[in-house]
Amino acid sequence: MALVEGQALSVAVNLSARQLKEPGLPGLVADALAVSGLPAECLELEITESMLMGDVEHTIRVLKSIRALGVRIAVDDFGTDYSSLSYLQRLPIDTLKIDRSFVSGCDRGGRMMAIPHAIIFLGKTLGLHIVAEGVETAAERDMLKVCGCNEYQGYFFSRPLQSAAVDDYLLAASAAGQTRR
């Protein structure tokens, strides 16, 4: 297991709607963890809001089974699909990921910051970890940080990398104290 600044690296995997409907998904996740040797707490499975709109009770059961393994669950691209705030209270989730369409230009404040601020406040009130996607400038990161955002992703930190370049990037980022994604 790779460590950066004494912390294990995590991996986030997007689930498709079809995978979420698979009856044996929790078992598949458990098997994948066993085969890979990845600790469950280092895996985060991402779902989109639209995936929640089908059989909500089934989705809740599946997500609870996966969380029971120690795996974290994130709602990706929050705010772009069928946002139903009532689901946020019922779903066994750990993380809300603010879609980049709300992050872009948020450094201008005012109306541009209204939705990210509301999502951060809502998520924090529900005890969720908040990730901003698509952060491209230090000013955007700083504005989101002031509101309490926990984590950031985007070109400000790095463009997509080939797998061979990831080790060098992580070592350089760790040395510079910038290991948060």
CATH at residue 166? 3.40.50
What pLDDT does 181 receive?
46
Asked if residue 151 belongs to a domain, the reply is yes
Asked if residue 32 belongs to a domain, the reply is no
Asked if residue 105 belongs to a domain, the reply is yes
What pLDDT does 9 receive?
80
**Size (the chain), residues:** 181
Asked if residue 166 belongs to a domain, the reply is yes
Please indicate whether residue 71 or residue 169 has the higher confidence score (pLDDT). 71
Asked if residue 120 belongs to a domain, the reply is yes
Q: pLDDT digit string (tens) for 118-146?
A: 999 999 999 999 999 999 999 999 999 99
Asked if residue 159 belongs to a domain, the reply is yes
What pLDDT does 154 receive?
94
Record the pTM. 0.87
Q: Give helix 56-68 / helix 25-36 axis angle, nearest 10°.
A: 20
> What residue numbers bound the domain in which 133 lies?
94-171
Among 18-32, 44-58, 126-140, the least confident range: 44-58
Q: Could you give the number of structural domains in the chain?
A: 1
Cβ neighbours of residue 177 closer than 8 Å, sequence gap 6 or more? none
> pLDDT-based confidence at 3, cuts 50/70/90?
low
Whether the CA torsion 99, 117, 43, 93 is positive or negative: it is negative
> What's the mean pLDDT in 73-77?
92
The whole-chain average pLDDT of the chain stands at 88
Asked if residue 47 belongs to a domain, the reply is no
Asked if residue 142 belongs to a domain, the reply is yes
